[in-house]
Structures are given as C-alpha cells and as structure tokens.
Amino acid sequence: MKKALCATASVSLRSLFKEHIYIGAVDVDQVLIQHSTSIYLVDAQDCLRNFFYQILVLSFGNFGSYKLSECASLIELLCIADNNLSPTEAHQKAAIIIENREMLDDYFCLSITENGNLNSIPSLIDGFIPQLESLPQLILTLANDIIWHDVSFS
C-alpha cells in the first residue's frame, strides 16, 4: 500500500498543498485556497479523508495514542451506532473486537481491556483531538466489516 501510494503521488498537488495560502471557508465542506496566481475551490472533507488515509498508510504500526478521559464500553458504543442491535448481538460483536484487541493495539493503538472497555484511540497528528462522535460507527465497522480470520498486513 505504501508503494502504491508513493507511486501515484502527484508532485504538483504536493506543491499546491505545501505552498498554498488559505483564503477562507465557502461553506462547511468547501474552502478557497490560493497557490501562486490561481485560486482553487477545495472539498475540505475529501482532502481531509485522503490526508488521514495517507497518514494511516505511511505511519502504520507507529501511531501515538489519545487516552480517553473515561473508558467507553464497546457494547454501549455498538448500541449507539445501531440501536436495533439486541443485547446478544451487541455482546457477540464486542467479543469479536475483544478477541482481536492485541492486534488492534499493536497496529493502531486502539487499546481495549479484556472486559471490553475502550481506553485509547490512535493519535494520527500530535495535538489533534479526533471527533469522538464518530467512535460508535468506527467500533461497529470493526465488528461488521472486517474479515478477522483473513486479516493480512503484507
């Protein structure tokens, strides 16, 4: 993934983002920036999504961590993300994540206790506090969308 990411990197886009001047927000999703004599309308959400993806790939296994002020129960987070989950389903999904907690901690600094409490999440940028509102959906995605028996980091 690192090789593919680096091979498709755009020198001109790298220059644009490195040397731009922020003009201002157009709305909640778009901003204006200036590079040289050109002005660009940028989809900030898309740029940030790509930026964080690149950080994830390039810093894989080497993240800092953001310690939560209070532990969060995986079961509660799962129920927040999907209020249609039965207690049995929530426990089953939490068990899948707990079973893989060592790998999540080693590679992503996602620290989970044996009894299913989330202690810390990855810190991708020093000093940046992530949006904790998205945490329930992240936990649900880990439970639903990862094929754990086929995980490979090659």
Cβ atoms of 128 and 122 within 8 Å: the answer is no
Between 16 and 147, the higher pLDDT residue: 16
Tokens 């329930």 map to which residue? 136
Q: Tell me what pLDDT residue 89 has.
A: 97
pLDDT at 154 over 60: no
Long-range interactions of 39-45: CB distance < 8 A, separation 24+: 40/16
φ and ψ of 140, to 5 deg: -65, -40
CB 120 within 8 A of CB 65: yes
pTM of this prediction? 0.76
Edge to edge, the sheet with strand 30-35 lists: 21-25, 30-35, 38-43
Segment 46-59 shows an average pLDDT of: 88
How do the domains of the chain map onto residue ranges? 2-58, 64-150
What confidence tier does 77 reach under pLDDT thresholds 50, 70, 90? Answer: very high
Q: Residue 152 has what pLDDT?
A: 59
Structure tokens at 98: 């707990």
- Which tokens hold the place of 141? 């995605």
